[in-house]
Amino acid sequence: MRTSRWRKFAAVTTAALIFSGANVYGKVKIEVVITPDGRVKSTRVVGGHPLLVQACQDAVKEWKFVPAPEETTQIVEFDFHAN
């Protein structure tokens, strides 16, 4: 089921912060399967800059979402841009 759930907790990896300061820009889209208790079951890269996708995928795997009655799938989008 594809729906939107709020994050309870989100972590950003050091690698993502480093790349964002290294003039690497663009969007990364990750498909996330979330268990009923709010944990990330699996991720799949939908698209994005090759230097950013792994850092984003690693960060999403650490996120916790609000519990829901059933497993859900959603797309998470990261946007890296100049200040």
The domains found in the chain, sorted by start residue, are 7-80 (3.30.2420.10)
- Per residue in 43-79, pLDDT (tens digit) is 999 999 888 888 889 889 989 999 999 999 999 998 8
pLDDT of residue 37: 95
d(CA 24, CA 56): 13
User: How many whole angstroms separate alpha carbon 29 and alpha carbon 78?
Assistant: 6
* Highest mean pLDDT out of 9-18, 21-30, 39-48: 39-48
Q: Are 77 and 59 in contact (CB under 8 A)?
A: no
Q: Residue type at 51?
A: L
Check whether 14 has a pLDDT greater than 70: no
Round to whole Å and give the CA distance between 79 and 19.
12
Q: What is the pTM of this model?
A: 0.75
Predicted confidence band of residue 31 (pLDDT cuts 50, 70, 90): very high
